[in-house]
Structure 1
C-alpha cells in the first residue's frame, strides 16, 4: 500500500516509543485522512470508519514501545488497518440485526450506488448465487422478512433445519465476501492513495 511516508519517520517512531505525544500527533495527522478514505471505501459508514480509526490509533499508542522494532512502518500500518477493518466487518456480520439492516440497505440503495458499491453488491449477489438451493431459498426468504416458522411451513422443513440453513448461508456468504473484500480493500487503497 502506497501511503505517504513521514519525513524522519524513524526519529518520529523513536519519539513516540518514548511517549512523545507531539510526535504521535504528527504520525496521526499524516495517516488519518489516507486511512479514513480506504476504510470508508470498504465499510461505507462514517461512524464505523471513525471507530475503526480510533481503535487503530489507540492500539498504536498503547503498543508504542514496539514501534522502534518495526522495519517497514507503512506495511505494518496497512496490516493493522486491514485487520481492524476486517474485524469490524466480522463484528457487523455477527450482529444479526445489523446484518439484516445491512442487507436491506444494500438492496434499497442498489440504484444509487457508485462504481465501488456496485462491486460490493455484485460480490454479495455472487455469494448468494453460490449457495446450495436450500440455503439460498432460506436466506432469500429471511431477507424478504419471513420468520423461521413461516419459512419452515413454506419449505416443508423443521424450524431447526431452517435455522441451520440460515446459519450455513450466513457463514458461506461471510467467507465469500471476506476473500473479495481483501481484494477490494487493496484496490481501493491503490486508487485513493495514488
Structure 2
C-alpha cells in the first residue's frame, strides 16, 4: 500500500503535469518543429523531474526551471540530430567514393584481362573464350573441329600465358576458365 506522502507527491506531480504540459509542448515545438519529437522531449523532462523530485521542490522559480530543462533537452536533441546527419552525410560520401573506386577497379581489371586476351594467339583465345562461355572440352573440340587433347593443350597454354601477363589478377579470371 502506498504511503500518504507518495500519494501526495503523485497528485502534486499530476497537477504540475496537467498545468505545464501544453505550454511546454508548444515551447518545445518552437525548437524542434516536430510535435511527436517535442512530446517525447517534454515527457523525458517530466520523467527526469519525477526521478529527481527531491531536488526541484527547493527550486524558487519552478516555472523558469522547468522551461529551462525543456530548452536544454531540445538543444541536446538538436545537437544529436545534427551530429547524426553529419555522420550519415559522411557515410554516404564515403560510400560513393568506395563505389567509384570499385567501379574504376572493375573497369581496369576488365581492360587488363581484355588486353591479355588480345595478346593470345587466335586459337588459344578461341578456346579460352568458349571455355568462359561455359562450353566443355568435348563441345569446344567439336565446334573447332579439332581433337579434345588439342583443346586441352591450347587451354593449358592459354592459361599459362594469362597467368604470366596478369599476375595476381589471374585469380579473378581463373574460376571462369
TM-score range, shorter chain: 0.3 to 0.5
Between the two structures, name the one with larger relative contact order (CA 8 Å, sep ≥ 6): 1
Q: What TM-score does the superposition give when structure 2 sets the normalisation length?
A: 0.45
Q: Whose helix fraction is larger, Structure 1's or Structure 2's?
A: 2
Q: Of the two, which has the highest radius of gyration?
A: 2
